[in-house]
Amino acid sequence: MEIFLKSLASAVVTVLILLLAKFSGPKLAGALGGIPIIFAVTYVLVTASNKNFSRDFLVGGIYGAMAGIFFSVVLLLLNAHFIKTHWLNFAAAYLLCFLFALGLVHLTSK
């Protein structure tokens, strides 16, 4: 039940950020969307007793940020070339983003 409530809270926050982006602009929405990430990383680094976990979490967050940038670039490129299939472009970019993040994790794992 806890995972359901956390997922629901995440969905609500995402909706609020998307609404903010629609009415206030993407820069403000992006800035506000990044704030929870900083709080989460700070919380883990300050309160975690297992420092290796904290470090891995931070590195994973950096990989996630890189994958997010990769997603944006790929989606822009796909939409520039294939505008009529924008939903398919989104799905392809999302899959490539996931594979990019997965590749980063596997390439840097010991």
- What's residue 105's pLDDT? 83
Domain boundaries, the chain: 1-35, 48-110
Q: Quick check: 85 and 75 in contact, CB under 8 A?
A: no
Confidence of residue 47 (pLDDT cuts 50, 70, 90): low
- What's residue 86's pLDDT? 84
CA atoms within 13 A on the CB side of 15: 6
Q: What is the mean pLDDT of residues 10-30?
A: 69
**Confidence check: pLDDT of 56 > 80:** no
In the predicted model, what is the mean pLDDT of the chain? 75
Q: What is the dihedral of CA 78, 83, 87, 91, to 10 degrees?
A: -10
Type of residue numbered 27: K
- What's residue 23's pLDDT? 76
Q: Is the pTM of this model over 0.85?
A: no
